Structure 1
Amino acid sequence: MKNLLLYSSLSIVLQRIQDFVNLGYTRYVCGSTSVDKIEQVIALFEMNYQASISRYQRTKRTHMGLGNVHLVLRLKGEQVYWWLLATPPEVGRHPIHETDTLKNALIVGERIEIDGFELVRLPKKGTDHTKLTWRMTTSTFDGFSQSVVEAVRSRSYQRMQYVLYRLWSNPGFNGIRSQIGKLVVKYRAEVKRASIKDAPKPPEKLYYLNRRPHDGITVKQLRAQLKSQV
């Protein structure tokens, strides 16, 4: 349990999950619990799935032909959201394969979705390969598209500025950046169609999301925070 961190940043959670899926932890189950129960939940995961063993212990299990599990935790308000990511059965046996109905993160219809984003494999530009990345779900993208249209047609500088701010506030994963580029094209077309000369301009660059450090809190620190609030 001492090795586990709870992350408040959505970007860090998305990066960690993408990392593990890239490493072959393609099966998953997820859920949530209240902050006051997370210690019991983690203890259960440790007892049943060895969810927080060391890198050395995981390597040892792999050499023995056994599967492994990683646990990602997100602290959001009074809830803790969790994802148990497991290697597939063909890599090696693991108790989670017997006790849980796991989804396959690489299959359409079973992809990992978090806050309107989904983990997908998209073609890698200039190659025949694919790359794992996050993008907006269809409903999220359509919602932004509608917001762009409504903001421009309102002719309100503040509404147009706000919709651009919302777009640039999204995590800069490759798939998301590509979608934002399409929405910016739509925004400019709508502004031109409405003949709005003083409309706010989108920022010149949409930066990639840099590698985020493991900025989180331990269960011990969370426990101390909860006690201080009593």
Structure 2
Amino acid sequence: MISKDTIIVAVDGPAGSGKSSVCRNAALDLGIQYIDSGAIYRAITWYFMGKYGDDLTVKDPVGELSSVKIEQIFESDGGVRTLLNGDDISSAIREERVAGNISIFSDNKDVRDYVSALLRKWAGENSIIMDGRDIGTVVFPDADLKIYLDASVDVRTYRRVKEYNDSGKNVDENSIRNQIIQRDLKDENREFGPLKKAEDSVYLDTSDMDFNDVIEKLKELIKSKK
């Protein structure tokens, strides 16, 4: 456990860098809240895909989201459930087709502002670890600790394929690799909230690090801020 009353830890990095799994485990060990910001963009994408199918040219996405309730639950076993209007869509939003369309909404300034406001509301007065692409630069620029997690494309591809396989989904490795490369380009060149390392963040390349070692390093950094 950490002794400071509240602490905000912002973890950014590219797709497949291990942010979510590492942050979940560190949060569980330290007894603080974990929030997966990427799941919110996935939930929004999944919602509009279900509503409009392949035509995702939504004129006023934030207006339409006013009647939608998105929730996230961090469970005692480290699991994270994402709910939309009370329905658990945690597995559905991890489908490859959702990942392929997510940039339509994550590139939208109004949607990003909507999600940022939602994330700040969720944080409230709690100690949190939150991961994403612009958490330390946009959502919580005054976070107590900012970390930029990175890894090579090869390593990130392997991790993402394993994630799909572990959930019972078979995917093409080359397709996932290309998807990650294209996602990097889109995230880094996005007009609003682009993926970039905050000047005051700690850079951590996890390519050659064991999963548990990354968790311990993250916990060590968090404890140093208590």
TM-score, normalised by the number of residues in structure 1: 0.22
Larger Rg: 1
Q: Which structure has the highest helix share of the two?
A: 2
Greater RCO, CA 8 A, separation 6+: 2
